[in-house]
């Protein structure tokens, strides 16, 4: 039983607030060398990024990986589309869900697992405004309860 060391680089906190996450997939990602070095420095932002299926392959759009400052030439473009590595069965399943039920694919977190960059992709359905209000009410009630417990 080998234990893979996991180092989380970034988490998309808004994803769980704006979407119901139905299922999660772990995917590899095709990167250039300067992108990996930038990721090791923590220069990554998941805000407004999404995944889509094009010609039977999954691509990640709007993932911002900052330029590596020590690369003098051949530096990467920060917002280029990046290919995700998934099994064919997973891609078929995702394709069926997205087309028939109105789901979308949202990246949840980027992390290193055993020295390789991985992305957790969530099969998500958008929340309505009243769902978000409900989540805010629950969070505020929990904060009040915790505050009351600390007082006593």
Q: Is there a domain that residue 150 lies in?
A: no
Q: Is there a domain that residue 118 lies in?
A: yes
Q: Is there a domain that residue 147 lies in?
A: no
In CATH, what number is assigned to the domain containing residue 23? 2.40.280.10
Give 96's pLDDT tier (boundaries 50, 70, 90): confident
Q: Is there a domain that residue 136 lies in?
A: no
Q: What's the pTM? A: 0.78
Residue 88 has pLDDT above 50, yes or no: yes
Tens digit of each residue's pLDDT (9 = 90 or more) over 8-67: 899 988 888 888 888 899 999 999 888 888 888 888 988 889 999 999 899 999 999 888
Q: Is there a domain that residue 146 lies in?
A: no
Tens digit of each residue's pLDDT (9 = 90 or more) over 111-121: 999 889 999 99
> How are beta strands 82-85 and 57-61 bridged, if at all?
antiparallel
Which structural domain, as residue segments, surrounds residue 46?
6-126
Q: Is there a domain that residue 149 lies in?
A: no
Q: Which of 110, 123, 115, 122 is nearest to 46 (CA)?
A: 110
What is residue 68's predicted lDDT score, i.e. its pLDDT?
85
- Tally of domains in the chain: 1
């Amino acid at each position: 039983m080998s234990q893979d060391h996991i180092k989380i680089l970034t988490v998309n906190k808004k994803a769980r607030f704006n979407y119901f996450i139905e299922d999660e997939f772990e995917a590899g990602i095709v990167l250039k060398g300067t992108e990996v070095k930038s990721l090791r420095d923590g220069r990554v932002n998941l805000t407004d990024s999404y995944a889509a299926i094009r010609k039977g392959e999954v691509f990640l759009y709007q993932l911002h990986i900052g330029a590596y400052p020590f690369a003098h030439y051949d530096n990467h473009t920060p917002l280029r589309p990046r290919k995700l590595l998934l099994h064919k069965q997973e891609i078929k399943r995702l394709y069926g869900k997205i087309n028939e039920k109105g789901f979308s694919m949202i990246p949840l977190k980027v992390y290193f697992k055993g020295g390789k960059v991985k992305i957790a992709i969530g099969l998500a359905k958008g929340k309505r405004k009243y769902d978000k209000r409900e989540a805010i009410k629950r969070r505020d009630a929990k904060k009040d309860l915790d505050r009351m417990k600390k007082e006593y």
